């Protein structure tokens, strides 16, 4: 089977099922496992490489008004690859190739490849997405094994969390300029990890957050995992948070409990590494209770240039 993935998360699911050798094309964002970076790219982005966070946000909002995606297919490459199966999503028609474009393209391709849509909104949906890929590729048993493995790891975190007496107020930001709450599966991960997310809501998309909401919630821990950003890129935007009113007075800032996590690899990709995200978050919130599994990067603890206001 010749498989094309139009999602980084789908690429990770395909490879986790042992089907990496059947993957013939990926998106320009697919980078894990590392070997997929060498595969033909079937998408391209309309976002300038040097765009600021505010400029990217403006582009997304403009595209939302017109139902036009920021990513588009490279039909010439796609035709050359002659896929039997295309895995895509209908969750967001701006941040990935629009579903309508994918289906129209499939109709024009030789052999009319099958199109499978993945639309996870929570951990249970992730398990179903893995099963969907397993069914489409006739690897149902491998899919069930993967689901059982992920469930076992989540259950281990949940069991340890149940022994925690105090759970801190947490805010997980998905964007800085403007600030965005977390959504979809992320509030669920915060609860499993032993925190209380008071702004983001589980099972619904993230949204623009009014700064006053954060000031009212007074988070004891702030975790920043900007969608599509590395830790290094996120650090460039930290001065924007520092300039916000009453930033230095927030409990998380005063106690040094501000953390940055690679949002490109974790939290924003609904694939197997959502469980990695949970384990990293759990260790961040309760390092004495939740060990960090070998091979996973710890969250970066952010330190302000001047610490005179810290206790």
**pLDDT of res. 69:** 64
Q: Tell whether 196 and 82 lie within a shared domain.
A: no
Q: Which residue has the higher pLDDT, 217 or 96?
A: 217
| Confidence at residue 73, expressed as pLDDT on a 0 to 100 scale | 85
Q: Is 26:36 a contact under the CB 8 Å cutoff?
A: yes
User: In this predicted model, what pLDDT tens digit does every residue of 70-117 receive, in sequence order?
Assistant: 778 888 999 999 999 999 876 665 566 666 777 777 778 877 899 999
Same-domain check for residues 109 and 189:
no
Which of 119, 147, 175 terminates a domain? The answer is 119
Please answer whether residues 17 and 139 qualify as being in contact, where contact means their C-beta atoms are separated by less than 8 angstroms.
yes
CATH code: domain of residue 32: 3.40.50.1980
- The pLDDT tens digits of the residues spanning 124-173 come to 999 999 999 999 999 999 999 999 999 999 999 999 999 999 999 999 99
Residue with tokens 């996870």: 120
- As a whole number, the mean pLDDT across the chain is 91
Q: What is the tens place of the pLDDT at every residue in 147-160?
A: 999 999 999 999 99
Q: Is residue 40 part of a domain?
A: yes
State mean pLDDT over 283-306: 92
Q: Are residues 38 and 99 in the same domain?
A: yes
Between the two ends of the chain, the Cα-to-Cα distance in Å is 60
Same domain (yes/no): 87, 172 = no
Residues 13 and 92 in one domain: yes
Residue 309 clears pLDDT 60, i.e. is over it: no
Residues 9 and 100 occupy one common structural domain: yes
Q: Do 286 and 173 fall within a single domain?
A: yes
Give the pLDDT of residue 131. 98
Counting the structural domains of the chain, the total is 2
Residue that terminates a domain, selected from 119, 151, 185: 119
Residues 114 and 171 both lie in one domain = no
Mean pLDDT for the stretch of residues 298-305: 87
Q: Do 297 and 202 share a structural domain?
A: yes
- Residue 296 belongs to a domain: yes
Same domain, 175 and 106: no
Q: Is 59 exposed, middle or buried (0-12, 13-18, 19+ CB in 10 A)?
A: middle
pLDDT at 311 over 70: no
Residue 131 tokens read as 């099963």
128 lies in some domain: no
Q: So what's the pLDDT on residue 67?
A: 58
Nearest to 79 by CA among 113, 30, 46: 113
Peptide bond into 178 cis (omega under 30): yes
Domain hosting residue 229, numbered range: 166-301
Distance CA 118, CA 115 (A): 10
- Per-residue model confidence (pLDDT) at position 94: 55
The residue from 82, 99, 119 where one domain ends is 119
**Residue 102, in any domain of the structure:** yes
Percent pLDDT > 70 in the chain is: 92
The number of residues in the chain equals: 311
Task: Tell me what pLDDT residue 217 has.
Answer: 98
User: Do the beta carbons of residue 69 and residue 75 sit within 8 Å?
Assistant: no
Q: What is the pLDDT of residues 32-71, one digit of tens each?
A: 999 999 999 998 877 777 889 998 888 777 766 665 667 7
Question: Quick one: pLDDT at residue 307?
Answer: 44
Does 297 lie in the same domain as 207?
Answer: yes
Give exposure, 24-49, as e/b (b: 16+ Cβ within 10 Å): bbbbebbebeeebeebeebbeeeeee
179 plus 297 within the same structural domain = yes
């Amino acid at each position: 089977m010749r498989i094309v993935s139009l999602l980084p998360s789908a690429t990770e699911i395909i490879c986790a099922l042992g089907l990496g050798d059947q993957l013939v094309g990926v998106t320009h964002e697919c980078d894990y496992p590392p070997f997929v970076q060498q595969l033909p790219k079937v998408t391209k982005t309309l976002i300038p490489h040097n765009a600021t966070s505010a400029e990217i946000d403006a582009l997304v909002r403009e595209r939302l008004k017109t139902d036009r995606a920021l990513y588009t297919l490279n039909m010439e490459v796609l035709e050359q690859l002659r896929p039997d199966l295309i895995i895509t999503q209908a969750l967001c028609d701006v941040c990935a190739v629009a579903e309508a474009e994918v289906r129209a393209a499939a109709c024009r391709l030789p052999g009319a490849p099958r199109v499978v849509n993945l639309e996870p909104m929570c951990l249970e949906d992730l398990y179903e997405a893995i099963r969907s890929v397993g069914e489409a590729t006739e690897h149902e048993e491998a899919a069930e094994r993967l689901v059982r493995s992920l469930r076992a790891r989540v259950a281990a975190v949940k069991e340890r969390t149940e022994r925690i007496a105090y759970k801190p107020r947490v805010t997980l930001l998905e964007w800085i300029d403007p600030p965005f709450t977390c959504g979809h599966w992320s509030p669920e991960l915060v609860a499993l990890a032993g925190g209380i997310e008071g702004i983001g809501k589980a099972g619904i998309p993230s949204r623009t957050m009014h700064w006053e909401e954060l000031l009212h919630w007074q988070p004891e821990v702030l975790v920043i995992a900007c969608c599509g950003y590395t830790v290094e890129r996120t650090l460039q935007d930290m001065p924007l948070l520092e300039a916000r009113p009453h930033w230095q007075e927030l409990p998380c800032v005063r106690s040094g409990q501000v953390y940055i996590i690679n949002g490109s690899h974790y939290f924003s990709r609904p694939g197997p590494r959502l469980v990695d995200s949970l384990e990293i978050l759990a260790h961040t919130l309760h390092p004495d209770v939740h060990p960090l599994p070998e091979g996973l990067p710890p969250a970066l603890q952010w330190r302000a240039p001047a610490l005179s206001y810290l206790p």
